[in-house]
Structure 1
Amino acid sequence: MMKRRNTRHRAFDPDPDAPDRCCDMHDCGQPAGYRAPRSRDALNSYFWFCLEHVREYNSRWDYYRGMSPGQIEAHIRADVSWNRPSWKLGQGKAAHGFSEEEVLDPLDLLKGAARARASARRQQADRRAEAPDALKYPLGVLDLGWPVSLEELKARYKDLARQHHPDANGGDRRAEERFKGINIAYTTVRAHLVANRQRDGMARSA
């Protein structure tokens, strides 16, 4: 019975891609079969050593040599996120949360949720048609129908503020402009509702 040849390399076998040359250690004439990085800034550039000298080189290797404690900590923190950029909680794209409307759903696995929300928005737009002319645009900015209570207005404002506040969007200028528009719309609608409430109170007390 023919034995299958084991093609796996043993732990201390020379690198099969090693160049045909002598060890890079000074005055060493042994074949170079083992590679070692030249520095932490050149990890893909190698010395080629014999087994004895690669062991000696590795025993003295210190990746963080010459770095301050602060630099070492910063380097370790960057490695935790694979050196990719990260943001504080509530910033960046993740701050906007998940939206079903951004998901392609050809099989309608979301059971028409996006269509239901679109229908609700159309109904709100129809309700806004009955609002005073001065409130139609502010209500559209806030995506509210009419009539609306002061409590509904405040709840909607809090939701929009969390979503569009510049601090929650990494200082994005478009979010800042959007947030300014939301504030103006909220102030306009709130002033109208408060004035109506005061007039109603005066009418009841008359």
Structure 2
Amino acid sequence: MAGAFQYKPKFVDIRVRPPTAEEAARDDDVYALKPGERACDHPGCRLAATARAPKSREMLNEHYWFCQAHAAEYNRQWNFFAGMSEGEIRERQAQSATGDRPTWQFKASRFSREAAAAAHGFGKGQGYRDPFNLFGGGTARAAPEPERRRLGKLERNALADLDLDEDADEAKIRARYLELVKRCHPDSNGGDRSAEHKLQRVIKAYQALKKAKLA
């Protein structure tokens, strides 16, 4: 009697067949971006970006866009005071106390712009200022220094992995990349894989610079 009520599965042998090429191609659509989405800025990532992070402390208004996993990884490594001395940190904290705005006295100083303009005109018959030396009455303005390239944290780290300066151009970056790939590849070292980790960092760094349109 007990055997009559014993559970007997209808299907005993359930086998999962491998997907066909057409099904595998459809599975790749999981990584396809939908309209309005943007790709994650992390090199090699195919997921949609959902979070943003500042590029560096000098570029707080410019952001990377990451997926959730890479945003969490970037935030764990973020240190606003990285590379600053103790004096620079204290100065930055003091500036933050005033809202990063300069403070000044209401009383005019003898070194003020107005005082300097008046002193320059006294005894010379010149009652006007000529800051651009249009009339040859003063010293010419110094030529402005060329603006330095603004780089985020990912680009700085990528250039460091390639042993390059921050002002390296596209040709120099590509030449250095090819040199390091040839040097670190196992085929160039008789099958020795000791430099394989360095090779992966070099490839990842080059991908990051290409994504930033620097290479």
TM-score norm. by structure 1 comes to 0.34
Larger Rg: 1
- Greater helix proportion: 1
